[in-house]
Structure 1
Amino acid sequence: MPVALLLIVFFFFLSFVWTISAFFFALNKKTKTSKDVKIFSKSISLFKAILLEYFSFLSIILLYPVEVFNITEKKKTHSKGIPVLLIHGYLHNSGALFPVKIRLLMDKTPNIFSISMKPTFASIKELALSVKKKVEEIILLTGCERINIVTHSMGGLVAMYYIKELGGHSRVSRCITMACPHRGTDFAKIALGKNGKEMRPGSELLCGLEEKGKELNRLVISIWSDIDNMIFPQENALLDGAENIKIENLGHVAFLFSPRVYKIIKENLI
């Protein structure tokens, strides 16, 4: 068997093991912190969720090169409609939200933008500064005074820092977060980089975001899942003062491909 084929098989196997392990570690934590101990009895729904998460995980990896083409942003002009900025999560780039972008384009949503935040392991403050720069470019390009933001995972924390610490509240009409660890995640205890450490529960950054500008949380819609395999406890995706919408039986990466989640996004874009 060729070495390349062996590597591909190993990659698929490793991805599946990772997905399974993350799910059951998260669910094990859930049974210890929640009264909902019946979750393991929902075997069919759980099995479907694991498979969906696995294929979503593989798809996101394959979508990584999409940012190179970024064809939807090359000929933007002033037009009606509040712009939408898509912000990716930890270890991803703009390709991660390509499934959401495609759906928005099919629904003829005007002025869709995305950003690939770099460096990968920079602090959330540094990443938020790049978002601020991108927003100002969008404002100049479209002539609109405000934008909508749609985020996944850590991207939600970047958006919240921009809104609360960098004056973004004057530029943002609505911020929709998917699977965002607003109060941190235990998974971040093994995450690399400054941003990884900042996602740990009780970090200085998270405490600062929680204490400052609580009234600005009204701009946020937080979509979260009861079996998120990257945020545990799962309730850490809830944000006080925001509209929190629960999605059942959905893994962390699968948010990006979910018709249920997209429906909520589309309905809440101002």
Structure 2
Amino acid sequence: MSYKSHTVLLIPGIFDRGSSLLRMQRALAEEGFDAHYIHLRYNSGWHGMEHLSSQLMAKIEKLVKKETTCTLVGFSMGGIVARYYLQAMSGINRVHKFISIASPHYGSYWAHFLPYKGGKQLRVGSEFLRGLNQSVRVLEATEPVSIWTKYDVTIMPHSSAKLEIGTSYEVPVILHRLMPMSSKVISLLKKEVITGMG
């Protein structure tokens, strides 16, 4: 039997070194959670999501005690990195709550400007995302949450950031990069992380 730990791993988005997650990290720490943001190399996604998910797995093995589970929060590409770990690397057994923030679950037209492996994986209709979405029900064990905004011009179409399962919240944030810093998003995040401990 596994126990729910107070460890929360924050996974940054593409080209993001994690600074956008600092406010979120502080807010979770104030609630008594042990929050860490994960430095991914190389966070352009150059080597693909598998490479980044392997790094996430190594961090979880290091930070989360055996027989316990954690919460994963992925911003933008970080949500897809988390999903590959959960769905394709048996990570589902180490995580009790998964929250994505403005993640391109069904791809983004913007990714067509990234002509390398990770960019191709994040495109609308990519074989990589089709595979994840065919097995999306695996995520039900984590009571998944997706937080998105219709004003996002990075995740196009906007509906791509809304998972077809679990709970979703639409928030009135005007820019993609401001999502993890939004007080509304952080409030929802805290509520869901705390509820996930129940």
- Tell me the TM-score normalized by structure 1: 0.66
CA distance in 2, matches of 1:246, 1:108: 24
Bigger strand share: 2
Match of 1:166 in 2: 89
CA distance in 2, matches of 1:247, 1:213: 23
CA distance in 2, matches of 1:144, 1:223: 29
Judge conservation of contact 1:156–1:178 (CA < 8 Å) in 2.
yes
Which of 118, 135, 138 is 1:212 aligned to?
135
Which of 13, 26, 29 is 1:89 aligned to?
13
The offset of 1:99, in angstroms, is: 1.8
Match of 1:176 in 2: 99
CA distance in 2, matches of 1:161, 1:236: 17
Judge conservation of contact 1:186–1:200 (CA < 8 Å) in 2.
yes
Residues 1:129 and 2:129 are matched in the alignment = no
CA distance in 2, matches of 1:111, 1:234: 31
Match of 2:159 in 1: 235
After superposition, the Cα gap between the structure-2 partners of 1:167 and 1:214, relative to the gap in structure 1 and judged at 3 Å, is: same
Which of 147, 151, 167 is 2:70 aligned to?
147
Judge conservation of contact 1:176–1:222 (CA < 8 Å) in 2.
yes
CA distance in 1, matches of 2:174, 2:168: 15
Task: After the TM superposition, list the runs of 4 or more consecutive aligned residues in structure 1 that deviate by more than 3 angstroms.
Answer: none
Match of 2:38 in 1: 115
DSSP-derived class of the 2:55 partner: helix
1:176-195 counterparts in 2 under 5 A?
A: 176-195=99-118
The offset of 1:171, in angstroms, is: 0.6
**RMSD (Å) for aligned C-alpha atoms:** 1.7
**Structure 1 unaligned spans of 5+:** 1-79
Match of 1:103 in 2: 27
Bigger helix share: 1
The offset of 1:192, in angstroms, is: 4.5
CA distance in 2, matches of 1:167, 1:191: 28
Match of 1:31 in 2: none
Match of 1:199 in 2: 122
- Tell me the TM-score normalized by structure 2: 0.89
Judge conservation of contact 1:222–1:245 (CA < 8 Å) in 2.
yes
Judge conservation of contact 2:87–2:138 (CA < 8 Å) in 1.
no
Match of 1:138 in 2: 63
**Structure 2 unaligned spans of 5+:** none
Larger mean Cα displacement after TM superposition, 120-129 or 243-252: 243-252
DSSP-derived class of the 1:174 partner: strand
% identical aligned pairs: 28
Residues 1:223 and 2:171 are matched in the alignment = no
After superposition, the Cα gap between the structure-2 partners of 1:243 and 1:122, relative to the gap in structure 1 and judged at 3 Å, is: same
CA distance in 2, matches of 1:144, 1:267: 24
Which letter does structure 1 place at the counterpart of 2:40? Answer: M
- Higher-Rg structure is 1
Judge conservation of contact 1:218–1:242 (CA < 8 Å) in 2.
no
Which letter does structure 2 place at the counterpart of 1:221? Answer: V
Aligned length: 188
CA distance in 2, matches of 1:181, 1:130: 20
CA distance in 2, matches of 1:151, 1:144: 23
